[in-house]
Amino acid sequence: MNAATLDVSALTAFLVGIVRNDPRNALPEGDHMTIWDAPLVGIASASDPLWDALKHPQAIGPIHRSPDEWLPGAKSVIVYFLPYTAAIRRTYPKKSFFPSLEWVSGRRNGEVFNNVTRRALSRLVERHGGRAIAPGNAEDYRAEKMRPMWSERHAAFIAGLGTFGIHGALITEKGCSGRIGSVVVDLELPPTPRPYRDIYEYCPYPSEGRCGVCIPRCPVQAIGPTARDNQKCVVHGRDTVAEHFLPWGYHSCGHCLTWMPCVDRIPMKSIRFPKKTAKIKFD
């Protein structure tokens, strides 16, 4: 394989191999449940005008770096979505204030595996004569007032992998329950199509007022009809859940990524979701 054949099919095959064969794609607890299923992969051009749009204060803001600011001479951005396995998702209780141990372990140990995957992808690019940097692994990566220097969700949107839901997660053809990784490279790779126009195109709520299951499902009322309160979300996952799982050193919440129509697919716009959803009583 040379640089000319390093297209989305080749990249997908490479990443599928890592997900299937790397022993780190497993929980350290219990029966070592597999964390991630086969990924989706997309490629965005580093010159796509949407990168500049992310610097607008109504998007992310000036703190967000363009691909060329991460890697001078950048030509492409490789992005992948790792979906949680159904086994991990099924451990999450339908009605509970707290997530399952398997979920929070998957969030922590799954991100360790995500870092491994970013590095493996960077090495692959280098073996094909290119340079690569994974912003999520960069030493100077930071966020200010919850605005990141690099948003992998937005990178995935630009690469054609999915659109946002009102819960703030990206909805892909494999759903919203997963994690995203990305690598900026100086190889000119064929971009993947972006089969949508609107940022909420895959979410039925903004256009039709239907579904909205994630609104009452949030245990701290962080999700509203038009926006998510990131502060409430982060405090719950980072502090409240962390205290609950203190013996394991885990944290994170996934209520809005489980037991919903968009968990593992793009929800059909024609489906008869209720216009209003009942409040969930958490145990």
Whether pLDDT at 28 is above 90: yes
C-alpha 60/C-alpha 55 separation (Å) is: 6
Whether pLDDT at 8 is above 90: yes
Q: How far is CA 92 from CA 88, 97, 101, in A?
A: 7, 11, 8
Whether pLDDT at 246 is above 50: yes
* Confidence bin at 110 (pLDDT 50/70/90): very high
Least confident interval from 125-139, 178-192, 266-280: 266-280
180, 82 Cβ separation under 8 angstroms:
yes
Task: Give the pTM.
Answer: 0.93
Mean pLDDT of 130-145: 94
Mean pLDDT of 4-32: 94
Mean pLDDT of 73-85: 98
More confident residue, 215 or 279: 215
pLDDT score of 168: 94
* Confidence bin at 277 (pLDDT 50/70/90): very low
104, burial (CB in 10 Å: exposed 0-12, middle 13-18, buried 19+): buried
Phi, psi of 183 (to 5 degrees): -140, 130
Mean pLDDT of 93-105: 95
What integer best gives the mean pLDDT of the chain? 92
C-alpha 271/C-alpha 269 separation (Å) is: 6
Least confident interval from 155-169, 191-205, 225-239: 225-239
Tokens, residue 89: 């998702």
pLDDT score of 278: 43
Whether pLDDT at 175 is above 60: yes
Going from N- to C-terminal start, the domains of the chain cover 3-185
Whether pLDDT at 224 is above 60: yes
DSSP annotation of 103: H
